[in-house]
Structure formats: structure tokens, C-alpha cells
Amino acid sequence: MEQTAAAEDETLMLAWAGGDAAAFEALYRRHRDPLFRFLLGQLRDRPLAEEIYQDVWQRVIAARSGWKPEAAFATWLYRIAHNRLNDHWRAQRHRPPAPADADLRTAALADPDDPEGLAGREETRRRLQEALDELPEEQREAVLLRLQQELSLEEIGRITGVGRETVKSRLRYALDKLRARLNP
């Protein structure tokens, strides 16, 4: 199924590069929510995530005519997002602290489908977000790409510019830290 989605993305991207606006709309619909969740998970600041999200899509639009199917569209998209995040962190020279209302923002993203379980899920989300916040940037990025975006080790490596074994190591250390933090 993953290969089918990648092939569909490639077909849509090539059609869009050829001028088919509906193909872009389909690509955008398919990738908008996962990309935004990734950026929000990295930045923990909704307005900043929205700004970078728009910038990533602008870069996709600007690069459409030169796009080549050398990598899956999703890998290419997340590589653009990764590079834009790196630009942001370099400009900041430090990782900004989480906003004072980070817990409220995280809770606002919760699914309202189960009111009885909402309080327990909010507490779990808060604890998980705190544990993710304690991870080094590279480990957090690898975890978010793997768990939220369901990318392979190879895809994460292409996005972050490191080898498969480095990605594997980052994930192992990150998951060990998360387990220790969440299961004291």
C-alpha cells in the first residue's frame, strides 16, 4: 500500500508539473495534515508551525518544474520541511522554550470522540509531549517521522541526511529514553 501511495504521489506530481492544478490539490490534501502535525510536533508553537508549513508548500510550488522522481514525493516533501526547520533553528541559535500554554495547545489537538477517556488521554499526551521535549532534537525528529509519518529508516535517513544505522540508533536511544520516562 505504501508503494501504491508513493506511485500515486509520483503520478500526481508529474501531472502537476505538467500544469494539472487538480493534481496539486490531491497531493496537498493527502499530505497537509501529516506535514502540519510533524511541524507542530517539532516546533510546539502553532503560529510558527503554520508559518513554516506555508513556507514548505511555497518551496514545493517553486520547485515543481524541476522535480524529478528520484525519491518518493513524501521523502522529498519532508526533506524540504527538515531543511526549513534547520534554517529556523540556525536563525534562532537555540531551541526556544515550549510556550507557556503548550499543554492547552496539545489538548486542543485531542480527538473529541470519547469524552469519558479524554482526561486520561490528555494526561498521557501531556506526559508523552514532556518526554518528547526532553529528547535531543535529532532523536525527537526521528521518532516523529517514524511514528507519526510512518516513514522507513531509509526515508528518514534521506530526509535528515544521515545513514540508516544512524537513524536506527537515534530511534533506539529515543525509545529507550521515552520508555524510562513514561514507565518509571
The 3 state secondary structure assigned to 12-57 is HHHHHHCCCHHHHHHHHHHHHHHHHHHHHHHHCCHHHHHHHHHHHH
Q: Is the pLDDT of residue 56 over 70?
A: yes
Q: Are the C-beta atoms of residues 143 and 178 closer than 8 Å to each other?
A: yes
Q: Is the pLDDT of residue 158 over 80?
A: yes
Listed residue (145, 147, 179) closest to 162, CA to CA: 145
pLDDT tens track for 67-117? 788 888 899 999 999 999 998 888 876 555 667 777 777 666 655 555 555
Mean pLDDT score across all residues of the chain? 85
State the Cα–Cα distance between residues 38 and 74, nearest whole angstrom: 12
pLDDT tens track for 115-135? 555 566 777 788 888 888 899
The cell numbers describing 184, all together, are 518509571
Task: Name, in order, each residue with C-beta under 8 angstroms of 143's C-beta and a sequence gap of 6 or more.
Answer: 132, 135, 171, 174, 175, 178
pTM: 0.61
Q: Is the pLDDT of residue 37 over 90?
A: yes
Length reported for the chain? 184
Per-residue pLDDT at 109: 62
Q: Are the C-beta atoms of residues 95 and 137 closer than 8 Å to each other?
A: yes
The rounded radius of gyration (Å) of the Cα atoms in the chain is 17
Q: What is the DSSP letter of 97?
A: P
Any idea of the CA torsion for 52, 81, 146, 16, to the nearest 10 degrees? 110
> What is the band of 19 on the pLDDT scale with cuts at 50, 70, 90?
confident
3-state secondary structure of 95: coil
Per-residue pLDDT at 54: 95
